Structure 1
């Protein structure tokens, strides 16, 4: 199996955190988004991980070399921003006859058993993983007829389907898939100047290929600050790790304190992750992500997202308040 990971993209919805780093290297629940994804792919024992990168590609290469040195990784730069299908097409030289392909986009962390792929795909040509959602108007959805995908509708006005595509695709015939992408690009089938995979899949379905839409157990969006915090809460649920130095502090589970982090005289949690090298003192923090090498002193934080090497220092307030007063500090 070859795994294609398109990790290019500016990650504008996560700014300012993506001004200086690739969006897949943003941290959540004690690991980068990319580390969460790769750890879920490792059981597949893929022959090659093909990364489609942008100008931040060296960051991805350095990270993979450090965290997953045993994996066979190759890197191709997407110099033109022509859409997801164009990004996947850049992997074509690495995909040969007989290779099956898994395409994994990096805005989301998925929860599903990928080792079931051979069984799920026994009677079809590919899998377009899905998740049933209430707000179907926000997504591209799969329309099923007798358990096979018959149509794909982008942001439907009516509930023709609630099975949203989650950015996880499996193709039995990887080389054939790449040829269909090339045909779609050659035909100029774009949406607002970009090439998208649903056009490719509908071309394949029109040629008689069959796709199923298995549901994943959880679909964890990491594309913007509020959903990143939601994902942090989900991944921390049931986990409580304190590997750093904690002094005279109360930790309200679940909390993740990484190795090398220091917490003194604080109340931390629930749903807080603190990365290595950070120092938190005299503070109350809940429902937040504190990235590496940051300093927080004398603060009360909720739903906060702090990047690397942030210094956030407050001060205690001195007050002289008379009877029957009402003071609301938001």
Structure 2
């Protein structure tokens, strides 16, 4: 099997954190989003990881070489912003007849057993992984009949289906899938000038292909700050790891402090991850992600996301307050 990972998006919803780095290299729960995804792909036998990158492609390549040097990777650049289907089509030179293909978009960390793919796809041509959601109006959904997808509707007004597509796709015939994308591009089937995969899948269904929509166990969105913090809370659950230095601190589980981080005279947690090289003093931090090489002192932080090499310094207050006083202060 070959895996296509389109990582060329600009990550505008995560700015300013994506101004200087690829969105797949943003940290959550002590690891980059990409590292979480690659670890989940270890359950299957992957012949090659095909990355579709932008100008930040060298960052991704350097990260993969550092963290996963044993994996075979190739890198192709999407020079024009023509949509996700166009990005996947760029993998064509790496996909041969007989290759099966898994496409993984990197806004999402998925929780599912990929080892079940052969059994799930015994009587189908592909799998469009899905998750049942309440707010179906926000997503593209799969419409099912007798266990197979018969239609795909983008942001439906009525609950024709609650099975949202999660950005994880498996195709038995990888080369045939690429050809279907190329036909869609040749036909000019765009939405607001970009090519999307549902048009490709509906073309294939029209030609007789059968797709199932297995549900994943959990769908962890990493596309914007508030959902990244939610994902941080989910991934830290049951993981209380102190690899760095914590001196005279109160740690409220779960907390993840990486080796090389120093925390002193502070209350940390719950749901806080602190990356290597950071130094925190005299602070109270909860439900936050503190990335690498930060300096934080004399502050109360909650629901916060700090990028790399941030210096954030508050000031202690001195007070002389009499009886029966009421003091209300903003930070």
TM-score class, shorter? over 0.9
Q: How does 1:146-165 map to 2 (within 5 A)?
A: 146-165=146-165
Q: Which residue of 2 aligns with 1:282?
A: 282
Q: Which residue of 1 aligns with 2:219?
A: 219
Q: Which residue of 2 aligns with 1:64?
A: 64
Deviation for aligned residue 1:116: 0.3
Q: Which residue of 1 aligns with 2:174?
A: 174
Deviation for aligned residue 1:9: 1.2
Q: Which residue of 1 aligns with 2:80?
A: 80
Query: Alpha-carbon deviations, 1:255-280, whole Å to 9, x = none?
Result: 00001000111110000000001001
Deviation for aligned residue 1:44: 1.1
Deviation for aligned residue 1:315: 1.0
Q: Which residues of structure 2 form unaligned runs of 5+?
A: none
Q: Which residue of 1 aligns with 2:129?
A: 129
Q: Which residue of 2 aligns with 1:314?
A: 314
Q: Which residue of 1 aligns with 2:259?
A: 259
Query: Alpha-carbon deviations, 1:14-39, whole Å to 9, x = none?
Result: 00000000000000000000000000
Q: State the alpha-carbon separation in 1 of the partners of residues 167 and 45 from structure 2.
A: 20
Report how many residues are paired: 330
Q: Secondary structure at the match of 1:165?
A: strand
Query: Alpha-carbon deviations, 1:210-232, whole Å to 9, x = none?
Result: 00000000000000000000000
Q: State the alpha-carbon separation in 2 of the partners of residues 149 and 12 from structure 1.
A: 31
Q: Which residue of 2 aligns with 1:37?
A: 37
Q: Which residue of 2 aligns with 1:47?
A: 47
Deviation for aligned residue 1:320: 3.2
Q: State the alpha-carbon separation in 1 of the partners of residues 269 and 74 from structure 2.
A: 39
The question of 1:103 aligning with 2:99 is answered: no
Query: Alpha-carbon deviations, 1:80-99, whole Å to 9, x = none?
Result: 00000000000011000000
Q: State the alpha-carbon separation in 2 of the partners of residues 236 and 271 from structure 1.
A: 6
Q: Which residues of structure 1 form unaligned runs of 5+?
A: none
Q: Which residue of 2 aligns with 1:205?
A: 205
Q: Secondary structure at the match of 2:227?
A: helix
Runs (4 or more) in structure 1 with deviation over 4 Å come to none
Deviation for aligned residue 1:324: 3.5
The question of 1:300 aligning with 2:300 is answered: yes
Q: State the alpha-carbon separation in 2 of the partners of residues 57 and 155 from structure 1.
A: 32
The question of 1:270 aligning with 2:273 is answered: no
Q: Secondary structure at the match of 1:293?
A: coil
- Give TM-score, length-normalised by structure 2: 0.99
Q: State the alpha-carbon separation in 2 of the partners of residues 327 and 87 from structure 1.
A: 57
Q: Secondary structure at the match of 1:134?
A: coil
Query: Alpha-carbon deviations, 1:156-179, whole Å to 9, x = none?
Result: 000000000000000000000000
Deviation for aligned residue 1:329: 2.7
Q: How does 1:222-241 map to 2 (within 5 A)?
A: 222-241=222-241
Deviation for aligned residue 1:45: 2.1
Q: State the alpha-carbon separation in 2 of the partners of residues 192 and 321 from structure 1.
A: 62
Q: State the alpha-carbon separation in 2 of the partners of residues 329 and 54 from structure 1.
A: 46
Q: State the alpha-carbon separation in 1 of the partners of residues 284 and 233 from structure 2.
A: 17
Q: State the alpha-carbon separation in 1 of the partners of residues 325 and 23 from structure 2.
A: 47
Q: State the alpha-carbon separation in 2 of the partners of residues 329 and 67 from structure 1.
A: 46
Q: State the alpha-carbon separation in 1 of the partners of residues 221 and 194 from structure 2.
A: 22
Q: State the alpha-carbon separation in 1 of the partners of residues 315 and 327 from structure 2.
A: 18
Deviation for aligned residue 1:327: 2.7
Deviation for aligned residue 1:241: 0.2
Query: Alpha-carbon deviations, 1:169-195, whole Å to 9, x = none?
Result: 000000000000000000000000000
